[in-house]
Amino acid sequence: MGSPQGRIPELRKDSVTNRWVIFSPARAKRPSDFKSKSPTTTQTQQQQDCPFCLGHEHQCAPEIFRVPPTSGPHWKIRVIENLYPALSRTLADPSAQYPILNPNPNPGSSVKVLGGFGFHDVVIETPFHSVQLSDLSPQEVGEVLLACKKRIEQLSTHDSIKFVQVFKNHGASAGASMSHSHSQILALPVVPSDVSARLDSMNEFFRETGKCSICEVRVEDLLIDESTHYFAIVPFAATFPFEIWIIPRHHSSHFHELDGAKAVDLGGLLKLMLRKISLQLNNPPFNFMIHTSPLQVTNSELPYTHWFLQIIPQLTVVAGFEIGTGCHINPVFPEDAAKVLREVQNSE
């Protein structure tokens, strides 16, 4: 791997998101020198004050379910309502009232207002404050993923819910307000614009090639590792340095099609990727998102919609150019990032 200064900038277009990314290695150190300047710590909140810890269940918002499903004091995973939800589950179901026009629109205005109905839940991944998701066994990570699957299936019974986003914020600078390991689920009565844009891009690729853009994703020197049912890559047009996608080998439109064996397999690969970025990048804050399809996709949309899991270590700042254009500048070529991550030796 040559010096970053020995390569010229490139623009690459992502066939999944339809976005351009600038790769500018002159702005970077050597890829192997990338480290988080603000590593995540888990002790910023004392265990005795944490409502997510075992024995503090009474401090939390109402529980939806737990794993295992017993009423005793011991549990492995709890899914609860978010105490400070972005959307309200108590509002009237909006399915019969959308669109609601602005009450004082200008003539011809297309402004729409929808009551903030939806569901915002928290998945507490472990009862113990000092344990992170990457500390769990593949089986235990798989159980967390299956808890998310179960909650999505419950939310899908609401006709007005169009899309469910599962995500994890790890570290304060990645958006986590609690240091206890947890992820979140937001169910919306609309399909967000970025999701629609991704589906439109996938559809365009399918119309041009007759193939699914995720099934056809380039692997080769972008591969980090693989398992029976999944493979992990740095995407060809990675928006962020050391961004990782975990992709099902076989075409699947919805994350909640996951079964028990695939959950454990995915759990093992996800654990490995989180361990690699922690070891190589100095335990950086990160986000991961499960990019699944809207709940009500049609049969004609199924051939080109394919879910994947995206991990983004927080190593750079999104600034004015990125906000203004939607075009990001990545200082690390994906092939270099994949090589660095391949070579990280997991200590477990």
Among candidate residues 197, 274, 271, the one with its CA nearest the CA of residue 227: 271
Active site residue 182: yes
| The total number of residues written for the chain in this structure | 348
Question: Cα 105 vs. chain centroid, distance in angstroms?
Answer: 37
Question: Cα 29 vs. chain centroid, distance in angstroms?
Answer: 27
Active-site entry in 182, 256, 291, 328:
182
Half-sphere exposure of 253 (CA within 13 A, CB side): 17
What's 5-20 look like in SS3? HHCCCEEEECCCCCCE
149, exposed or middle or buried, with CB in 10 Å at 0-12, 13-18, 19+? buried
Asked if 333 contacts 7 with a C-beta cutoff of 8 angstroms, the reply is yes
Tokens of 115: 């009551």
Which residues neighbour 115 within 8 Å (Cβ) at sequence distance 6 or greater?
A: 91, 92, 94, 97, 100
Catalytic residues, which ones?
182
